[in-house]
């Protein structure tokens, strides 16, 4: 079972802004969507399928977020 990624309110606001902004690079927006989906309780497989990325990519970005936050 996958643990839920914990995102504080301030980080959530930043991630949501990045995910929606047209000027955000696609790679950054994708990473933000991965973390937001993880915070919503979606599994790695669900996130990968929904966003069209590999499961290892989801795991990588969840891990990096857990280590360093949105900074």
pLDDT along the chain (71 residues), means of 10: 76 94 94 95 96 97 83 55
Listing DSSP states for the chain in one string gives: -PPPPP--HHHHHHHHHHHH-TTS-HHHHHHHHHHHHHHTT--HHHHHHHHT--HHHHHHHHHHHHHHTT-
Q: Give the Cα separation of 55 and 71 in Å (integer).
A: 23
45 with 55: CB under 8 angstroms? yes
Whole-structure pTM value = 0.86
């Amino acid at each position: 079972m996958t643990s839920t990624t914990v995102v504080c309110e301030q980080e959530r606001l930043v991630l949501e802004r990045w995910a929606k902004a047209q000027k955000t690079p696609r790679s950054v927006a994708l990473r933000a969507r991965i973390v937001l989906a993880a915070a919503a309780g979606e599994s790695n497989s669900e996130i990968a399928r929904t966003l069209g990325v590999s499961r290892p990519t989801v795991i990588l970005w969840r891990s990096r977020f857990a280590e360093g936050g949105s900074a």
